[in-house]
Structure 1
Amino acid sequence: MKKLKLIALLLAGVTVGCSDSFLSLKPTDIVIEEEFFKNTSDAEAALLGVYSTLQREETFSNVRDAADIEWAISGDMYEMDGSANRIELHSLTLPSTNTILRDVYTAAYNGIARANLVIKKVQDMGEGDQGVKDRIIGQAKFIRALYYYRLVTYFGGVPLILDPLNANSELQIPRAKVEDVWKSIENDLISANEVLPKSWDPANVGKATSGSCKALLNKSYLWQGKYGDVVKITEALFTEGVYGLLTDYRSIFLETNENNKEILFSTQFREGTDAEGNNIVKRTAPRGAPAEFTGGAAWSNFVPQQHWVDGHEKDAQGKIKDKRYWSTIIGPGEAHQNMPTFVMPASVPAGWSKSGYIMTKYWQKPTLNNSGVNMPIIRYAEILLNYAEALNETNQTSKAIDYINEIRERAGLSLLANSLGKDATLDAVFQERRMEFIWEPSGGFSDLNRRGRFLEFIKKERPNYADLNVDQKPWLNTQPILFPIPRDAWDRNKALEQNPHYTF
């Protein structure tokens, strides 16, 4: 199933009957339900509509989440456009009217709505092979859990909607308790894990697997501080024997090597002019660079910051040792990894990159149309670092260091001594996150936030820290830091209560 063939079809927009404003809890009707869900072929088609929601920039395309929120808020990436909605996030002002937060919140519930419909209709379907139906429901539950994971980590307790809504539903829905949202996530993933395969045949590669479920459980348990459960679910994942680290860091992200053994789940894209592609190459390649290298457009929206580059380990001569830098970054005078005739100028024009650096993790070739590069959501490297963190918290520090060293060895770095103390080991975990996952959904703001390390990190690492006026922003002194419930959602659902220190 190359790229899942994620065509939204009529089904994704009409059968589901949920517009992008679903999250506002506005009444919606299912317009042609009776025409579908008569057999498993219909159900599979509806499931594609659920997967298609992951392709939106507001969901899992590594734009709104990984770039605008995770890595620009932490300060390790710079957003070149300087649009007002992005400045609100990066300055940590965080108003409830911010359109990026609104769109992330709304798009998550749109995905949940589609998943709810598939789960309900397939459960009620009388015909069809039960195993096939179970796997369809399992995939929809995984995606529902993925969206609720994002909502609960960004906003805290949110309305917990597990059944399809229509015009007869009660639409003034209060926020659920945080622990109830987490419990729902765990229930969905445990249920899906029991019915999904370890791997799919080539025609269906890219779909959620039992390993995907274990990986998201790993992340969910870690966020909640359930370190013993992190250890258990990770070791269950290890026994599957399906996933592992690739030897070459750059090869993880190559369009020619997608869905490799390091990818536990990713958003599937296909190059072309239709909605199957993404704008990631356009957002990466330096604006003003020759079109023979960039393709149809180049915006250089997001660039690595100098202080992030400076955070890499160096040799005695001051040269960066970390292979991850040389695999995915080019700076002044450095050649592109896949297009060596493209060399960054010694003096990089400000329009190309304010910092002088460009990331090539996703920019691998010129792209005339939309890019087909997949966007990683969960990688095996993250699972190893999560496992190491959990081991460290369960007094298995020496063993934890072994797993950190797996990441460091691939990066060409010296191994850490197993005698390292507990605090230093946790610091090492977070250092590897920072270098490993730049411009991915992991490793930035959210990981720092869940451990209460965010303010300490930006005070040390962000050169503009004094300009952020942290002491005048009380919402930053909560644990964890939560984003405001969007004003747009409250306008339509007055049962919503705002997070502390924010107003609607």
Structure 2
Amino acid sequence: MKKLTLYSIQWAGVVLVFLTLFSCEKILETDLPENQIESETVFENVQTANSVLSGLYAGLFDSSPVSGDQSGYSLGLYTDDLDFYALSNTSGLLEIANNTLNDANATTSSFWTAAYQKVYVCNTILEGIEYSQGIGSADRQRIKGEALAMRSLLFFYLQQIYGDIPYPVTTNYMINQSISKTPSAEVMTRLELDLEEAVGLLPDAYRNAERIFINKKAAQLLLAKVYMQQLKSQQAETVLKSVVQSSLYQFQNDLTKVFLKSGTHIIWQLKPRNNTDAVKEATAYYFANAAPLYVAASPSLVSSFTAGDLRRSQWMAAVTVGGTTWYRIEKYKARSANTTEYSIVLRLEEAYLLLAEALARQNKTAEAISYINPVRQRSGQALLLVSVSQQVLLDEIVKENRKEFFTEMGNRFLTLKRFGLLDTLIQTKPNWKNYHRNWPLPQSELLLNKNLNPQNQGY
């Protein structure tokens, strides 16, 4: 079977998005013919253009860096959130858990392919909307803003995980088949520009009450994440304050309601393909009355919670068999007949902790305390005093990120990378090496396009 790669997804991407959008009737309210539509037709009508966007959102839920069984699962194993218990190698996950990756690893390759497939669809939308004559200005701007934000999200994860990456901005096959890598610093600069443009194009108002489509504030939080990975604290502070001070959002003080889809602390979430489907996070980590078949919370994660931290009791469940106790991740609980949960990509607590960090890095510790303490108070922890030192505060922010966002969208990996702490994983991951800050580029891609060489260091 021919392997799907960055350079063979041109037609696959188009077919995928149209097949997907026609199966997304639970998201969409427009009836379309059950076949492929030429882009000239699609982007002359706001309903069909929105349908393509909805197909893209559905694709993000199904298979992408923000799909519930990709970043949280694979990066949770790669860092120290999860331990792997499968008796046989499952799609390369054993090598990820053991930090013994090579460039033929199936999981890292599929991660790359899924992301670039969605990038191609984003570029299809951006090209189609650019020349549309039948869609009004406001809708054209919004559609472009959503596509730019989603493409930026994909490139962000690709850069953080692989380092220097291709940055295709066209659907032109002749360009994409021989594209070179863009240096990481340039990728981040381009992400800033794209997300700043997206912020300018998008409205604050959600176009769906369930917050399943990106709005201005979601794009701003993505921009702030890009700023913070570069330690641009002052720029991040300005953007994050726009998010946390918005009347659209209220901090969720009830820990049992954090992962319910109706919360006003949710900035953006992904809806399952069908009503009553469970989100992937609800089933990916589940095991009961037996030893784990695949993954469980690592002892390092379990022991990171201080006594009385309610997140351990609310978001994990102990399973004891034969005198041995494991902990399963149980943030999402609706495993069947789901009517209460969507997969949350961005929530207010992330904006709070990023803002606390941005302020702390500028030595504005007293102000930073006001954004970390609500997260601590909700979980039953003692509040930090305003007299805390800058370094202690930054250390606490790392700890809070782990306890608040374990197995969510690779947060642990991103946090350790931002703080320069990835090499501390050697304490719990005996095979960890310095070069593991990046995954290897897929061997299949290097064989197809020699301009992607050299391979990442160490592989």
Tell me, yes or no, whether TM beats 0.5. yes
What does the per-residue CA deviation read over 1:340-396, in whole Å, with 9 as the maximum and x for residues that have no partner?
A: xxxx5xx4269xxx75222221123x527x998322222211111111111111121
Contact 1:305 1:355 in 2 (8 A): no
CA distance in 1, matches of 2:426, 2:434: 16
1:60 is aligned to 2:28: no
Query: How far did residue 130 of structure 1 move?
Result: 0.9
Match of 1:248 in 2: 254
Query: What's the secondary structure of 1:357's corresponding residue?
Result: strand
Match of 1:283 in 2: 284
Match of 1:329 in 2: 316
Instruction: List alignment gaps of at least 5 residues for structure 2.
Output: 15-35
Q: 2:379 aligns with which of 401, 405, 411?
A: 411
Query: How far did residue 424 of structure 1 move?
Result: 1.0
Match of 2:82 in 1: 77
Q: Which residues in structure 2 correspond to 1:265-304 (within 5 Å)? A: 265-271=268-274, 278-287=279-288, 301-304=294-297
Match of 2:327 in 1: 357
- Count matched residues: 433
Task: Please tell me the residue identity of whatever aligns with 2:404.
Answer: E
Q: 2:169 aligns with which of 162, 166, 174?
A: 162
Match of 1:191 in 2: 197
Query: What's the secondary structure of 1:78's corresponding residue?
Result: strand
Q: Which moved more, 1:447-456 or 1:72-81?
A: 72-81
Task: Please tell me the residue identity of whatever aligns with 1:367.
Answer: S
Q: Which residues in structure 2 correspond to 1:328-477 (within 5 Å)? A: 328-331=315-318, 347-348=320-321, 355-364=325-334, 366-367=335-336, 373-456=341-424, 458-460=425-427, 462=428, 465=429, 468-470=430-432, 473=433, 475-476=435-436
Q: Which moved more, 1:383-392 or 1:258-267?
A: 258-267
Match of 1:292 in 2: none
Query: How far did residue 271 of structure 1 move?
Result: 4.6
Query: How far did residue 27 of structure 1 move?
Result: 5.8
1:174 is aligned to 2:180: yes
Contact 2:345 2:409 in 1 (8 A): yes
Query: How far did residue 90 of structure 1 move?
Result: 1.6
Task: Please tell me the residue identity of whatever aligns with 1:73.
Answer: Y
CA distance in 1, matches of 2:121, 2:4: 13
Contact 2:103 2:443 in 1 (8 A): yes
Alpha carbons of 1:455 and 1:355: their partners in 2 closer, same or farther (altered >3 Å)? farther
Instruction: List alignment gaps of at least 5 residues for structure 1.
Output: 1-18, 290-297, 315-320, 332-343
Task: Please tell me the residue identity of whatever aligns with 2:265.
Answer: E
Match of 2:454 in 1: 498
What does the per-residue CA deviation read over 1:326-345, in whole Å, with 9 as the maximum and x for residues that have no partner?
A: 222222xxxxxxxxxxxx5x
1:310 is aligned to 2:303: yes
Contact 2:423 2:434 in 1 (8 A): no
Q: 1:117 aligns with which of 124, 131, 148?
A: 124
Contact 1:483 1:499 in 2 (8 A): no
Query: What's the secondary structure of 2:452's corresponding residue?
Result: coil
Query: How far did residue 309 of structure 1 move?
Result: 1.8
Task: Please tell me the residue identity of whatever aligns with 1:493.
Answer: N
Q: Which residues in structure 2 correspond to 1:477-492 (within 5 Å)? A: 481-492=437-448
Query: How far did residue 55 of structure 1 move?
Result: 1.3
Task: Please tell me the residue identity of whatever aligns with 1:303.
Answer: A
CA distance in 1, matches of 2:446, 2:87: 27
Q: 1:263 aligns with which of 262, 266, 274?
A: 266
Amino-acid identity (%): 23
CA distance in 2, matches of 1:265, 1:202: 11
Q: Which residues in structure 2 correspond to 1:148-159 (within 5 Å)? A: 148-159=155-166
What does the per-residue CA deviation read over 1:381-438, in whole Å, with 9 as the maximum and x for residues that have no partner?
A: 1111111111111121222122211210111111112111121111100111111111
CA distance in 1, matches of 2:114, 2:435: 24
CA distance in 2, matches of 1:372, 1:403: 28
Task: Please tell me the residue identity of whatever aligns with 1:185.
Answer: L
What does the per-residue CA deviation read over 1:167-204, in whole Å, with 9 as the maximum and x for residues that have no partner?
A: x4451110012122112221221112122221325467
Query: How far did residue 20 of structure 1 move?
Result: 8.5
Alpha carbons of 1:58 and 1:301: their partners in 2 closer, same or farther (altered >3 Å)? farther
1:215 is aligned to 2:259: no
Q: Moved runs in structure 1, 4+ residues, more than 6 A?
A: none
Contact 2:46 2:139 in 1 (8 A): yes
Query: How far did residue 272 of structure 1 move?
Result: 5.4
1:100 is aligned to 2:87: no
How large is the RMSD of aligned CA atoms in angstroms?
2.6
